[in-house]
Amino acid sequence: MTTAPALSPALRGATTTTVDTPDGPFTVIEAEGAVLSSGWTALASELTGQIHPSIRSAVFDPAASSVQPILDAVARYYDGDFGAVRTVPVRQVSGPFRARAWDVLRTVEPGAPVTYLQYAERAGNPTAVRAAAGACARNAAALFVPCHRIIRTDGSLGGFRWGLPVKQRLLDREAGLPVPA
């Protein structure tokens, strides 16, 4: 595990931590106990672009940092407690539909992926399939806001910022299927 202080003048008071997972290095940008961005990369620079500008320009209290509960939830997830990540606070900013869609993502049960159409319906607008897909694409808090649980209507994976092999392993793991190392 590696932890670093603020990335730049932006995100003052935030910390960046990278841990090893079975799916590769997983990095979390955290401030005041909430995930600002996360994903399967060792490079924090691959995460900062997903953070809303209003958050990037905020000043956080480093004394309020609390990354250990976040890392514990990641470890519990990989130990089979897939609901552990649901308890982690996340801080994302967007318009009303996308914010609602991100909240809805956190209710999709592990092992029970839904289609983009079903996801749009759950988010309150069944005609907004493209907007629902956009919410997945702009989700900064991968794993904690589990956009990997959304699939195409034909059952294929669709896209995933961290690669389709990672998405497939996450879905297989949550379905109780064997996951190759």
- Tokens 């009303």 locate to 96
Please say whether the dihedral angle defined by the alpha carbons of residues 29, 136, 132 and 86, taken in this order, is positive or negative: negative
Please say whether the dihedral angle defined by the alpha carbons of residues 150, 155, 158 and 161, taken in this order, is positive or negative: positive
Q: How many helices (H) and strands (E) does the chain have?
A: 7, 6
The residue count for the chain: 181
Pick the catalytic residue from 31, 44, 142, 147: 147
Decide if 147 is catalytic: yes
Q: What positions carry a catalytic annotation?
A: 147
